[in-house]
Chain A
Amino acid sequence: MTRRARLILFVFGACGFALLLAAALLSVPGFGTAQHRYAERAVLAAQVQRHTANAVASVTFDQRGLDTLAETFMFVAAVLGIAALLRRNPDEEEIPPRAHRQERRPPVPNTLRLAAYLLLPVTILVGIYIVLHGHISPGGGFQGGVVLGTAIHLLYLAGDFPTLARLRPVPVFEATEAVAAGAFVLLGFGAMLTGAVFLTNVMPYGTQGELLSAGTVPLLNILVGIEVAAGVVLLIAQFLEQALLLRRETARK
């Protein structure tokens, strides 16, 4: 099909789709009204029953905990899939990270290096804060995990790839990700030991707004934070390996 024919087909399809969707959306409850039946119940459950200040965290890790479990494993599956897709081809050869020196690329400006080294501890601290306070302020395991996972890549921006490669041994992070995701499941089974349903929030709820409150929500936040951080590191490691560490033997000869 030529590009032109494809575009014409798209215009027809898009017009039909837009009309149908617009018609459907016109019968959706109006924008901004005070009628939110699920919201009322979810907020009540989060605040009154579970003492969780962040209602979104309560929905994610308590009221819809099973969905989040599936979401966590979906992320693990994606990381696994990328590892399988980006595995080394027989005709590719690895350059050891130590041999990866600056001469292959222009030098990194000193200001950028200084900024990266200064921001590294700050970013890791912010990441840990976001994970730990996920149940009382906006944030949580997914958000904080991404901050933590990308934080150490400031070293790459600083042009210090050998240190980055030393700091994140891939097998260790693979094991960490698996253990954290597994611990999520075990915590769910732990609730069953008390006679409750899988993944029930069985721990004491504490006082709303305090660090130790909301029962298992902060615990799950920490596990997801570790899992996502390890997953993001592995993900970026795979892509960096493609860009920096592999070369084709045929191309070299």
Chain B
Amino acid sequence: MSVLAYLLAVWVFLIGVYGLVTSRNLIHAVVCLSVCQSSTYVLLLAIGYQWGATAPVFSGIASDAAVVDPVVQAMVLTDVVVNAAVTALLLAIAIQVHKRHHTIDPDRLRSLHG
């Protein structure tokens, strides 16, 4: 049963890739990529989880309380920042694509011209 948390990450990743493959809109594709990246949050947090443990912030809890892994949480923080940066960059590229090609349907972006 407990392996479901990991399988959830696989499912979120694949549903994101499915969106990318079938996308008809670049902005939709950027969001799908975001969904793919969200699967890594689920995976990291699942790896760090511990039954019955609380958040790794020692204010108002006993100093020897069981806490979940703070290392993976810090990695998720990095992950979120990377995701925000990548999403913003790709949206900027989508704007430029629309300016030059007057479409954001990836299937209609066939010719190379700059």
Q: Are B69 and A39 in contact (CB-based, < 8 A)?
A: yes
Work out how many contacts link A and B, with CB atoms closer than 8 A: 147
A18-B7 Cα distance, complex, nearest whole Å: 9
Contact B18 A10 (CB under 8 A): yes
Contact present for B69 and A36 (CB under 8 Å) = yes
Range for the number of chain A residues in contact with chain B:
35 or more
B47 to chain A, nearest CB (A): 7
A1-54 contacts to B (CB < 8 Å): 3, 6-7, 10, 14, 17-18, 21-22, 25-26, 28-34, 36, 38-39, 42-43, 46-47, 53-54
Q: Which of B17, B56, B71 contacts A54 (CB 8 A)?
A: B56
Q: Which residues of B contact A (CB under 8 A)?
A: 2-7, 10, 14, 17-18, 21-22, 46-51, 53, 55-59, 63, 66-71, 73-74, 77-78, 80-82, 84-86, 88-89, 91-93, 95-96, 99, 107
Q: What residues make up the interface of A, taking CB atoms closer than 8 Å to B?
A: 3, 6-7, 10, 14, 17-18, 21-22, 25-26, 28-34, 36, 38-39, 42-43, 46-47, 53-56, 58-60, 64, 67-68, 71, 74-75, 77-78, 81-82, 85-86, 89, 136-138, 140, 142, 146, 208-209, 235, 238-239, 242
